[in-house]
C-alpha cells in the first residue's frame, strides 16, 4: 500500500466512524447539518462527546485606541456537549479558548470562510494524522473539514492555528489563533488557581500603519518581527490582579520573536508547567525563554504586594540569535529588551493558596530502552544559498519522506537535531507534530557559547515538550515515544516565515 492509498483508507474509515455523513459534506454544507446527521453514531462509546463548530473568516477588533483593525479571526459555537468548552476572548481578535478534558471525544467542524485555502492544526495534541492539520488536507474557501479525535493528552496549555503551506505566516499574523486548555482529574485535585486566577496570556508582535491596520512585511530570511508587543490581542496590556496566587499560562504566538521573560523587580520565575503540562516539582529560574509555539506555566503570588502597585513583565536582552542574517535596522530586533505587559494590583484579598511541593509524577522513558540508542536519528537545520532554510538537508515535499524520516509505531527513539554552525545561521524553534518528547541534553559548538549562555538558564526542559529552541551551533537530543497513530506527520521550524519557505519535513509512522 502506498502513502496515497493509506491516506484514502484512513479518511474513509474516519467518515465511516462519523456515521457515513462526513464524506458528503467534506467540501460543502454546514456543520450543524453534519452534526445532526451523526445521530446516534456517537453512542458507541460512553466517553463524553463534544461537537464544536469552528469558522475562520474576516472581522474587526479594537486592538489600539482609535480606528478598529481589520483582522482574520476564529469564531465558534458548541453544537453538542458542554457549553463551557468554548470561552470567548472579549476585546481580542483571538479565537475562543477551547477547553477540553482528557479522554473526551471531540468533533470539530471547521468552516473555511477565508478567500484562500486553510486547515487547522491542534498544536501539541496527539491526534490521528487526518486530524492533525497537515497542509495536504487544506480546504478551499467555502468548504468544511471534519475532525474527530479522542483527547489523549494530559492537562496542559496547547493552542490551535492555521497550517496551509506558504500561507500559515500571514494567516496567523492577521489574527488566526486561539488557546486550547486540557484538564484532567489529577490536575483538578491539586486545587491550583482557577477562574480569574488562571490566566492565558498570548504573546504576539505586530506592526501597524497610521490607521491601526496590520502591516505584514514578510521576511523569509529572519522571520517577521512586529514593532509593538500585544498580549491577548491588545497593545499596552495591563492585567488587574488581586493579592492572590495566580496561574499564568504564557503562549508565544508570535511569528518569529523569541521572548526572555523575567519579572521587572528581579523576583524569580516559578515554573510549574511546560508544553505538555505540569512539572513534577516547581522550578525557580531567573528568566524563562519562550520560542514561537512554546508554552510555559508560571505561579505568581501577589499576596505581599500593595494595592496600586504595578509589576512589569519584561523580555531581557539575548545574544547570538542570528549571524550573517542582517536585521540591524529592525525597530525592535529579535533579542532586544522590552516591556511585555504590566500587572496592576487593584484589590486586597486575604484568601491564599499554597504552591504544592509536588505537582505530579511523570513516567519518564529511558534512553537505554530506545531502539536506536546507539545510533540516534541525526537531523540538521541549516541555510542553503540556493534552497534557503532547510531541515534534514531537504526542502519541504508535501507527500515525501527520506529513509531516515520513517519510524515504527509503538517504538521509543532518540532524535538529535543540530543547528549547523556556518556563515549564515540563526536560532530555530523546532516543533514536532505527533507525540510529545523529553529533552535529554543540549551541547553547543565552540564559538557559539556567548549566545547560548544568554538563554541556557531559561530553558524549560524539565517537562514534556513539543517545541524547543535550537540555538546557533547547538545540538539537542530528544527521546520520542511513537504511539499508535500511523501516517504522515510533520516536524518544522516554528518561525512561520521559515516554515512557509519550506523549513518543514514529513516523517512517516508505519
| Residue range 459-509, pLDDT digits in tens | 999 999 999 999 999 999 999 999 999 999 999 999 999 999 999 999 999
Domain ranges of the chain: 3-188, 195-347, 367-509
Q: pTM above 0.75?
A: yes
Q: Give me the tens of pLDDT residue by residue for the chain, a chain 510 residues long.
A: 333 333 333 333 333 333 333 432 344 445 444 443 344 344 435 566 999 999 999 999 999 999 999 999 999 999 999 999 999 998 899 999 999 999 999 999 999 999 999 999 999 999 999 999 999 999 999 999 999 999 999 999 999 999 999 999 999 999 999 999 999 999 999 999 999 999 999 999 999 999 999 999 999 999 999 999 999 999 999 999 999 999 999 999 999 999 999 999 999 999 999 999 999 999 999 999 999 999 999 999 999 999 999 999 999 999 999 887 765 578 899 999 999 999 999 999 988 899 999 999 999 999 999 999 999 999 999 999 999 999 999 999 999 999 999 999 999 999 999 999 888 999 999 999 999 999 999 999 998 999 999 999 999 999 999 999 999 999 999 999 999 999 999 999 999 999 999 999 999 999
Report the C-alpha gap between 221 and 497 in whole angstroms.
8
Q: What cell numbers appear for 217 in the block?
A: 512585511
214 φ, ψ to 5°?
-60, 135
Burial of 245-280, coded b for 16+ CB within 10 Å and e otherwise, reads: bbbbbbbbbbbbbbbbbbbeeeeebbbbbbbbbbbe
User: Cell 491542534 appears where?
Assistant: 122
Report the C-alpha gap between 356 and 191 in whole angstroms.
9
Q: What cell numbers appear for 426 in the block?
A: 540563526
CB-based burial label for 370 (10 Å; 0-12, 13-18, 19+): buried
In Å, how far are 168, 294, 381, 499 from 502, measured between CA atoms?
A: 11, 20, 12, 5
Helix-then-strand count for the chain, H and E = 7, 33
The pLDDT of residue 325 is 75
The pLDDT of residue 354 is 94
CB 181 within 8 A of CB 202: no
Q: Which residues pair with 391 in a beta bridge?
A: 381, 394
In Å, how far are 235, 313, 435, 507 from 490, measured between CA atoms?
A: 33, 33, 11, 6
The pLDDT of residue 122 is 99
Q: What cell numbers appear for 486 in the block?
A: 500511523
Report the C-alpha gap between 206 and 235 in whole angstroms.
9
State the CATH architecture for 3-188.
Sandwich (2.60)
Report the C-alpha gap between 402 and 375 in whole angstroms.
17
Report the C-alpha gap between 398 and 396 in whole angstroms.
6
Q: What cell numbers appear for 384 in the block?
A: 542553503
The pLDDT of residue 329 is 72
Vertex 126 angle, CA 168 and 184, to 5°: 120
Q: Which residues pair with 467 in a beta bridge?
A: 431
The pLDDT of residue 322 is 87
State the CATH architecture for 195-347.
Sandwich (2.60)
Comparing 195-347 with 367-509, is the CATH topology the same? yes
Residue 46: count of CB within 10 angstroms of its CB? 7
Reported CATH class of domain 367-509: mainly beta
Amino acid at each position: 500500500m502506498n502513502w496515497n492509498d493509506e491516506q484514502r483508507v484512513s479518511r474513509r474509515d474516519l467518515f465511516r466512524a462519523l456515521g457515513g455523513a462526513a464524506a458528503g459534506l467534506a467540501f460543502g454544507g454546514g456543520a450543524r447539518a453534519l452534526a445532526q446527521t451523526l445521530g446516534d453514531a456517537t453512542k458507541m462509546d460512553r466517553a463524553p462527546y463534544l461537537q464544536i463548530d469552528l469558522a475562520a473568516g474576516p472581522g474587526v477588533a479594537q486592538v489600539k485606541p482609535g480606528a478598529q483593525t481589520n483582522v482574520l479571526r476564529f469564531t465558534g459555537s458548541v453544537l453538542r456537549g458542554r457549553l463551557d468548552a468554548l470561552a470567548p476572548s472579549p476585546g481580542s481578535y483571538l479565537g475562543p479558548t477551547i477547553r477540553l478534558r482528557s479522554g473526551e471525544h471531540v468533533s470539530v467542524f471547521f468552516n473555511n470562510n477565508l478567500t484562500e485555502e486553510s486547515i487547522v492544526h491542534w498544536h501539541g495534541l496527539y491526534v490521528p494524522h487526518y486530524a492533525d492539520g497537515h497542509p495536504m488536507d487544506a480546504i478551499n474557501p467555502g468548504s468544511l473539514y471534519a475532525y474527530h479525535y479522542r483527547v489523549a493528552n494530559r492537562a496542559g496549555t496547547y493552542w490551535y492555528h492555521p497550517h496551509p503551506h506558504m500561507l500559515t505566516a500571514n494567516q496567523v499574523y492577521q489574527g488566526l489563533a486561539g488557546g486550547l486548555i486540557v484538564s484532567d482529574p489529577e490536575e483538578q485535585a491539586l486545587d491550583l488557581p482557577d477562574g480569574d486566577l488562571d490566566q492565558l496570556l498570548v504573546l504576539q508582535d505586530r506592526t501597524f500603519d497610521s490607521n491601526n491596520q496590520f502591516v505584514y512585511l514578510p521576511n523569509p530570511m529572519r522571520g517577521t518581527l512586529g514593532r509593538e508587543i500585544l498580549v491577548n490581542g491588545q497593545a499596552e496590556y495591563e492585567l488587574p490582579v488581586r493579592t492572590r496566587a495566580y496561574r499564568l499560562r504564557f503562549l508565544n504566538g508570535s511569528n518569529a520573536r523569541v521572548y526572555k521573560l523575567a519579572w521587572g523587580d528581579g523576583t524569580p520565575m516559578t515554573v510549574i508547567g511546560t508544553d505538555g503540562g505540569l512539572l513534577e516539582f516547581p522550578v525557580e529560574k531567573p528568566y524563562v525563554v519562550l520560542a514561537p509555539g512554546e508554552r510555559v506555566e508560571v505561579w505568581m503570588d501577589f499576596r505581599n504586594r500593595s494595592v496600586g502597585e504595578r509589576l512589569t513583565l519584561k523580555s531581557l536582552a539575548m545574544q547570538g540569535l542570528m549571524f550573517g542574517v542582517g536585521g540591524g535596522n529592525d525597530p525592535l530586533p529579535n533579542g532586544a529588551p522590552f516591556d511585555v505587559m504590566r500587572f496592576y494590583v487593584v484589590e486586597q484579598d486575604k484568601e491564599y493558596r499554597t504552591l504544592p511541593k509536588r505537582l505530579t509524577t511523570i513516567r519518564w522513558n529511558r534512553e537505554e530502552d530506545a531502539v536506536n540508542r546507539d545510533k540516534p536519528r541525526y537531523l540538521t537545520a541549516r541555510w542553503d544559498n540556493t534552497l534557503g532554510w532547510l531541515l534534514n538537508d531537504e526542502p519541504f515535499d508535501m507527500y515525501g519522506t527520506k529513509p531516515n524520516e520513517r519510524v515504527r509505531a509503538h517504538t521509543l527513539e532518540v532524535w538529535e537535531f543540530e543547528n549547523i554552525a556556518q556563515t549564515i545561521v540563526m536560532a530555530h524553534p523546532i516543533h514536532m507534530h505527533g507525540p510529545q518528547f523529553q529533552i535529554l541534553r543540549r551541547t553547543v559548538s565552540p564559538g557559539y557559547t556567548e549566545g547560548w549562555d544568554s538563554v541556557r538558564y531559561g530553558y524549560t526542559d524539565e517537562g514534556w515538550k513539543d517545541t524547543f529552541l535550537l540555538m546557533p551551533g547547538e545540538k539537542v537530543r530528544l527521546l520520542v515515544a511513537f504511539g499508535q497513530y500511523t501516517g504522515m506527520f510533520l516536524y518544522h521550524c516554528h518561525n512561520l516565515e521559515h516554515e512557509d519557505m519550506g523549513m518543514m519535513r514529513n516523517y512517516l509512522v508505519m
